[in-house]
Every structure is written in C-alpha cells, then in structure tokens.
Amino acid sequence: MPRDIAVHQVMATLGYGDAIGNEALGIQRILQAAGYDSRIYVETAEERVEHLTDDYRDLPGRSRPDDLLIHHFSIGSKASRVAFALPERMVLIYHNITPPSYFVGVNETLVVQCWNGRRELRGYTHRCDLALGDSEYNRLELEAIGFARTGVLPVVPSFAHLDVTPNRMLAADFDDDRTNILFVGRMIPNKRIDNLIRIFQAYRLKYDRRARLLLVGSHGGFEGYVASLYDLITKLRVPDVHLIGHVSNEELTALYDIGDIFLSASAHEGFCVPLIEAFYKGLPVVAFRSTAVPDTMDGAGVLYECDDPRHVASLIHTLATDQAWYDEVIRGQDEALGRLRDKDFEQRLLDVVDEVRGLPRAPAVPVVPDFWEQVERTDALEELRQRRPLAYAALPKRPKSPRRD
C-alpha cells in the first residue's frame, strides 16, 4: 500500500560492492516493500550501479517538507550540502570519516575531503531529527560532537553478494594445499596494509614458507601508496604477496572460499563489514583491536593489541595448527554472526521512520540568501571544467588572502 510520504536517501557516491552502497540498496528495498517511494540521490556513482541512482541536483525540484531524507554521511559532498538546505525531516546515518592525517602525503584531495567532511558534520547537529551510527563507536562520536538525539542502526549485512555462483578463474591460481592469508578492503593507509605485509613476512620466515598473502580491494587514487607497498615488499624480500585489486562479487566469494585465515591490521574502522563477511564464509579472523573493530566482532575471532609482527605471526600459527582452538574460534564467530542476524534491521529501520515522524520538527536551519544561486554557479563551473578544461583554466583566479602569522 503506498505511503503518504517519500523516504529518500542522499549520499556522496554509490559504489559497486562496497559496504555503504550495499546498505543503501538494502534500505531502499525495505522501504519500497513497505510502500514508500524511495530513491537514492548521489553526486557520483560507479558505472555498474549508476542506473539505480538519481542525480542529487534533481532533488530540490522534488522536495516536499513532509518527506524524509536518510542522509548517509561518510565524506563531505555537494549532495550533502544540498540536502542540508532542503526542508525535509532528516535522519543522518554516520559511517565515520577517517581522520585526514592518514592521507597526508598520500592523497591530498582526500585530506581536504575528510577534513571538510568532519567540519561539515558538526553543522548537522541542529539539522537532523535523529543521528544514527552504524556502530556504537560511531554513535559515541556523534554524541561527543553534540548531536542531541542519537542511536544505532546496526549494520546487518546482506550476504546476497556472496551467495552468487563463484567465479573461480582468478581464485584457481591459489586453490591448493598452501595457506592463504586473506585481507579484503581498500588499499589505503588507515588499513595498515604495510603491517599486514610485515606480519606475513614474520609468519612466513618462522612458520610457513609456502604461505601466501592475498590482498583484495581497490586502490583508486592511492597508486602512490600501493607503489610504497611494492617497495616494502622488495626491501623485505618477501615473496607470495598478491595485490589482486578490485574484484566482482563472483570473484570475491571464490576468494573467500579458498582463504584459510582473515587478517586485519586496520587502525581505523567505523564498522568493517569484511570481518563479518569472513565470519559468514567460515574464515577465522585475526584483527587489530582498534576503533569499532571489537564492537563489530562482538567477542568473537582473535583480537590483538600488540602489533609486533612476531606476536601476530605466532597467533596465526597457533590458530592454523591447534584444531581445538580453531574450532572454538569458528564456533564463537558463528554465534556472533547469529546474534547480529537476529537483530531485526528491517523493523528497526521502519521504526526509525515512524519515530522521526512522531518527533517535534527540528527548527529550520538558516541558509544564506544566495545559496541556490551559488549551487547553480558551482554546477556550471564543474560542467565547464569537465567539458572545456582550457576555458576553465583561463578563468581568473581568486586572489590569495593575506597570510596571517
């Protein structure tokens, strides 16, 4: 039965196969099944999922004050700023923003985006009717920033993307009796891929010279960081490290199938869905205790605090050779996954919509008089930059402000 309001989602970008993208698509399916008109408005989208989105610039023309916007906040964006200025009620879902310090000297554009995103987030403290973290770690950060109403919308991942027929062509090269240590995630500095390589080298030298390290994930925009990883591999003289890159869902599930242990050294996570994917695929997880990781693992897997490569290597070796402990770890992960899947994400989402509709409307936020004129100018400049880069380059530059001591 059609509902009397629409519940749309707004996000900077919809990616293929990433955790936030999968969650947004899952939310849309639930809302549409419940009778809500529900679209996903984005600034950019990966080509394989672009047909599932609408351009954020179309949102103002469809805006209705009684509708609800679910705003996925993971980085600053023009879509975010447009959503801020609209009259709809708003639920903010915070996926955390990696501290920009991780990207200094690696990706200066992302430094600026993360810094702006964290700054912009503070502006939403009075704009949102409800702010939700997708983990308790993220909720606490929202609370510390000053959001009055906070809660948790638990990430209960859909594993449909792993229930596809595996494409074994890529994984076949690693499907043998050798130990495959697997990591899935973007090849970016906060994931501490360099530490994974050091741990693997320690494990290989002391325990298993036939082991492999499989690093699966995209590295777009971080080619320099990946080059530094290859340099580290060369300096350590460590063989059998495979940077596989971005893969399809069919290839991903095949790689999980041939993995033996999932290893994470990440120093900053807002949730980290691949940990739960590893639980689902039956891989024992060894992960660095940081940020949201302990909450996500919910007492399961193996957490380490001492990141000395030799210590972590000994944990991996014991897990690989002690069948009783291995079975205990897998049993704990199965139980944690069961607890997570028992959380009724669908009902919680619908309850959130009803809860927000019943709240007093948040006071209107001030928007500068020429805001929409500035939006139009920005869009025109961006189109010029993309279609006529020489003409864009010839535009007069803004004079530099006097430098202050």
Work out the end-to-end distance of the chain between its first and last CA atoms, rounded to an integer number of angstroms. 63
| CATH superfamily for domain 164-342 | Glycogen Phosphorylase B; (3.40.50.2000)
Report how far residue 101's alpha carbon sits from residue 402's, in angstroms, rounded to the nearest whole number. Answer: 26
The helix (H) or strand (E) run that includes residue 316 is helix 309-321
Identity (one letter) of the amino acid at 175?
D
SS3 content of the chain, % helix, strand, coil (to 5): 50, 15, 35
Positions of CATH 3.40.50.2000 in the chain: 7-156+344-393, 164-342
- Other Cβ atoms within 10 Å of 306 Cβ, number: 11
Tokens of 209: 């010279």
pLDDT for the residue numbered 102: 94
Asked whether the beta carbons of 207 and 309 are under 8 A apart, the reply is no
Alpha helices by DSSP H, 125-259 = 136-145, 168-171, 193-206, 223-236, 249-258
pLDDT tens, the chain, 405 aa long:
578 899 999 998 888 777 788 889 989 999 999 999 999 999 888 888 899 999 998 999 999 999 999 999 887 788 888 898 899 999 999 989 999 999 998 888 889 888 888 988 998 999 999 999 988 999 999 999 999 999 999 887 778 889 999 999 999 999 999 999 999 999 999 999 999 999 999 999 999 999 999 999 998 889 999 999 999 999 999 999 999 999 999 999 999 999 999 999 999 999 999 999 999 999 999 999 999 999 999 999 999 999 999 999 999 999 999 999 999 999 999 999 999 999 888 999 999 999 999 988 877 777 777 777 777 777 777 777 777 777 778 788 776 655 544
Q: With 0.75 as the threshold, say if the pTM is over it.
A: yes
Residue 405, classified by CB atoms within 10 Å of its CB into exposed (0-12), middle (13-18) or buried (19+), is exposed
CATH of domain 7-156+344-393: 3.40.50.2000
Closest CA to 269 of 343, 192, 199: 192
Q: In degrees rounded to 5, what are phi and psi of residue 156?
A: -110, 90
